[in-house]
A and B are shown apart, each in its own frame.
Chain A
Amino acid sequence: MIGGPPKTAVAGARVAWGPSVCGALAGVLWLVVSPVSAQTSGTVVMTSDRTSVAVGDTFRLQVRANVTGAEVTRFDPPSLDGFAVRSRQVSRPLQFRFGFGQQQQVIQSTTVHTYVLEALTPGRHTFEPAEAEAGGHTFRSDPLTVVVGGSGATPPDPQNPQNPQNPTQIQPQQNPNAPAVAVDGAQVDPIAFIRTVADVADPYIGQQTTVSVYLYTRSPIRAAPHVDQEPTADGFWIHDLLPPQRSLDPEIQNIQGQTYRVYLIRRFAAFPLREGALTIGAPQMTLQSGSLFDLFAQPQQMERTGVAIQINARPIPNAPSGNVVVGNYSVEARIDRTQARTGDAVTLLATVRGTGNLRDVRFELPSTSALEFLQPQIQDRVEQPGDRVGGVRTFEWLVIPREPGTHVIDGLSLRVFDPETERLSTVAAPPLTLVAAGNAVPGIADPDATDPDPADVDTPVPPPTSSFAFGPIRQASALDVGRPPVSSQPWYWALLFGFPILGLTALLVGRVRRRPVDETKVAKRTARKQLADAEKHADASEPREFYAAITATLERSIEGRTKTTPRGLTHEELRALLRDRGCGHDLIRRLVEELESCDFARFSSAGGSREEMLACLKRARGLLAELERVPVAAEEAAA
């Protein structure tokens, strides 16, 4: 859990050159004879993934000897007293580099000793320099110090070796100014993962804990990752610590033998608003990895989700009732003048400086009959040196003395809890004195304001005590009992829509009643029915009935058109009637002939054949069709 920036102890290249010309000549000769270079140089580097551990914690110590021009013949690791060696690995990759032409052939030798050590005793342990000998030269590393603290580190979860709350192998902060890590959440991934850390695991309510979100990637990213889901912070008041515009520069870090690029994505100050377990939610990001300059490689898009971390907010111990602010503050106060007329406004300025959540800082200055405090104007100047939020909060009141005399303003004090010392103290500004002269001036909340003296109208009165006297009250009232609105009653809507519906219904009924009977259509329908009857008579060989039906059909049709019954008319009168209605001569002639022939056939046995009757029926249909085209007498009159 506990970890600091990784230390690297690097010895500078210690190359022993032949100081003499002879040596140089021997070297040239050796170059000719030997297939490899005679120049020998090298470094020995000793590194540890953690420099601050607790007793029982394991960490990785690595000693790397790089030698060019010779092979490592001897290697002396540092003394490991005070630590138990849990594992040891030695690797000796040997590399040859061949040159052409004027280039030399070079041999490069690397020896890497990796130890996993467990701290046994607390204290400050210094590893002596490691030594490597190659080509007759000795190379040394720098010493390395590891601080072992007391026991108390969270034991690793055996069920979950990658317990997000205990990523013992992760050291994200190369920057020494980065906040310490107290709560840690990460799910290590061989390609990329998100890590969320907080610097205080159990802050008091109102105390700052700094939360940082890092992105670890093996390969560089093409652009700033898109944060699909911000880390939620319910129960906290949040203040961002990173500027909105900044460059995303990675730091290189080695985790479990793998090199990662570490990007700082978010950092904010979180102030708990209530006690108990509060959660910083898991962030989610989408990123594209791959070098921007690698034209042949396809960018790889990845989505990663972080791990939520839990902060345990503690209540402020022995906190009195009322407003207690957490941090470190000082209070100053001043007044723009110490003497004023009653009713004149005086400006009271209070300045609070310090570290903590400034928004929690407030003063209660209740108005009295002698002094009225208007709502203050509050201005904040938030600063964050070293990622610790603080700054200056300024309160500006207008104070109106209502009564003459000497008034003392002494309410500008804060109860402050310092989480570092865990002490509660009171910070206060010295009392201020205001001398007011003049007559008493009633305020808005003053009962005396009911009957303002007209002489006071000209007195300069501040805006909030405007000269409006509310009242007088009403002494009599009908004391109506509330009734539901008229428009919410069902009967109202029944009436509202009933009248139009009734009216429309009456209108429609009247219209239907006044509608004229279309005699033309009735006559047409009757004629069609009579023709059908006639056809039945023809089929039944009933000539008398057939011709009677044809005659009746034609006469009814003529009556429908002329509005005059043709019965009883002579043929000449009928011709004249039809002529008056605009019938053509041919139609008149055929109608009269058909009526004559029907009269004749009704009493004659010759016209009784079926064929004769069907021919008559066909003619009658033709005559009726022509008659329907003749204008009706009433329509013509109306036109």
Chain B
Amino acid sequence: MNRVRSHAVAAAFVIAALGPSLGLAQSTEEIFARGNEAFLAERYDDAIEQYERLLDAHVVDPDVEFNLATAQARLGRLGAATQHFERTLRLRPSDAEAEAGLQAARRILAERRAASEGVGEIIVSGGLSDAMYRGFTEPVLAWGLLALVVALLLSVVWFRRARRRLRVGLALLLVVESIATTAFAVGVMTKRGVFRDGAEGIVLVDRAALREGPDERHASRGQVREGDAATLLETDETGHYIRVRIGDERGWVARDAVGRVTF
């Protein structure tokens, strides 16, 4: 009798412990399905709402980001589409469809500008290091760095104990491993934003005012353009304005006018 009771208590504990997670899993799947249904019914606003609910629930998934980007693009919000295509590629650099979508969104934005202004240029993010490590995710680089450090250490030990004939080959191996370790270390630092002065972002609203201070009463320094890459430097106390760097320009824009790419 006691054994039966103890089993029942244990089962209750297991259900209590796993219940929320099971419920969350079902819930996120349902939300994702509802978003997809809305998309297929061409109710893109509804689809976006469902996908954004997933993001609010801390879902970080390349497929959700891709669907969100696609829905935004269908509505012509190419700045937001660019943001979410970028996020998709951060999570899955090999996603060819996301890459194609990103390039198409940028091309259309540039063509729009060219049609109205004669010249269409889109500011894209990152420097050389960002371009070099664009094809790698942060976990790949981090684990690779760890593995390389261990391999380098083992190679040093092997080198010390190896016979003289083997040492030449081992020395070459050490050089190669050192270079690879350095490259991976730079990659990890790049992904962590060590070489940037803020998080990466995308301008979502075309011709939003770039102001001298975090208030609409401050003088305007110009306008920011939809789809341009921005570095998000700091948020003001109220949270309504964010200081950005776009190209060589710095200033404050409304918080809703920019979206974050960095997770």
Query: Which residue of chain A has its CB nearest to the CB of B66?
Result: A474
* Given contact pairs A374-B116, A377-B117, A398-B115, A466 touches B138 in the complex (Cβ within 8 A): no
| CB atoms of B146 and A464 under 8 A apart | no
Contacts of B100 in A (CB 8 A): 468
| CB atoms of B114 and A463 under 8 A apart | yes
Instruction: Encode contact with A along B108-135: 1 for CB under 8 Å, 0 otherwise.
Output: 1001111111100000000000000000
In the complex, how many angstroms separate the beta carbon of B203 from the nearest chain A beta carbon?
15
A445 to B142: give the CA distance in the assembly, Å: 41
Contacts of B117 in A (CB 8 A): 375, 377
Q: Which residues of B contact A (CB under 8 A)?
A: 25, 28-29, 32, 36, 39-40, 42, 44, 54, 57-61, 63-64, 66-67, 69-71, 73-76, 81, 100-101, 104-105, 107-108, 111-118, 138-139, 141-143, 145-146, 149-150, 153, 156-157, 160, 188, 191-192, 206, 217, 219, 263
A475: Cβ under 8 A from any B Cβ: yes
In the complex, how many angstroms separate the beta carbon of B186 from the nearest chain A beta carbon?
12
In the complex, how many angstroms separate the beta carbon of B48 from the nearest chain A beta carbon?
12
* Given contact pairs A375-B116, A470-B81, A492-B142, A480 touches B60 in the complex (Cβ within 8 A): yes
| CB atoms of B59 and A486 under 8 A apart | no
Beyond the given A449-B74, A479-B25, A479-B32, please list 11 additional residue pairs across the A-B interface where CB-CB is below 8 A. Answer: A234-B217, A445-B74, A468-B104, A468-B107, A473-B70, A479-B29, A487-B142, A492-B142, A496-B149, A503-B153, A503-B157
Contacts of B219 in A (CB 8 A): 234
Contacts of B143 in A (CB 8 A): 486
| CB atoms of B60 and A483 under 8 A apart | yes
| CB atoms of B115 and A486 under 8 A apart | no
Contacts of A466 in B (CB 8 A): 104, 107-108, 111
Contacts of B32 in A (CB 8 A): 477, 479
| CB atoms of B61 and A477 under 8 A apart | yes
| CB atoms of B111 and A463 under 8 A apart | yes
| CB atoms of B101 and A470 under 8 A apart | yes
A440: Cβ under 8 A from any B Cβ: no
Instruction: Encode contact with B along A459-479: 1 for CB under 8 Å, 0 otherwise.
Output: 000111010101111111111
30 pairs of residues in contact across A and B, judged by CB atoms under 8 Å? A234-B219, A374-B115, A375-B113, A377-B117, A444-B76, A444-B108, A447-B42, A462-B115, A463-B111, A464-B115, A468-B100, A470-B73, A473-B40, A473-B66, A477-B32, A477-B61, A479-B29, A479-B54, A479-B63, A482-B59, A485-B138, A485-B139, A486-B138, A487-B141, A487-B188, A496-B145, A499-B146, A499-B150, A499-B153, A500-B153
Contacts of A503 in B (CB 8 A): 153, 156-157
Contacts of A473 in B (CB 8 A): 36, 39-40, 66-67, 70-71
A479 to B76: give the CA distance in the assembly, Å: 26
Contacts of B73 in A (CB 8 A): 470
Contacts of A492 in B (CB 8 A): 142, 146
A415: Cβ under 8 A from any B Cβ: no
Query: Which residue of chain A has its CB nearest to the CB of B35?
Result: A473
A345 to B112: give the CA distance in the assembly, Å: 13
* Given contact pairs A466-B104, A499-B153, A447 touches B74 in the complex (Cβ within 8 A): yes
A517: Cβ under 8 A from any B Cβ: no
A495: Cβ under 8 A from any B Cβ: yes
Query: Which residue of chain A has its CB nearest to the CB of B95?
Result: A474
In the complex, how many angstroms separate the beta carbon of B30 from the nearest chain A beta carbon?
11
A488 to B189: give the CA distance in the assembly, Å: 11
Tell me which of A449, A474, A481, A500 contacts B149 (CB under 8 A).
A500
A391: Cβ under 8 A from any B Cβ: no
A473 to B74: give the CA distance in the assembly, Å: 11
A376: Cβ under 8 A from any B Cβ: yes
Contacts of B116 in A (CB 8 A): 374-377, 397-398
A235: Cβ under 8 A from any B Cβ: yes
Query: Which residue of chain B has its CB nearest to the CB of A486?
Result: B142
For chain A, residues 371 to 400, give those with C-beta under 8 angstroms from any C-beta of chain B.
374-377, 397-398
A374 to B59: give the CA distance in the assembly, Å: 36
Contacts of B150 in A (CB 8 A): 499
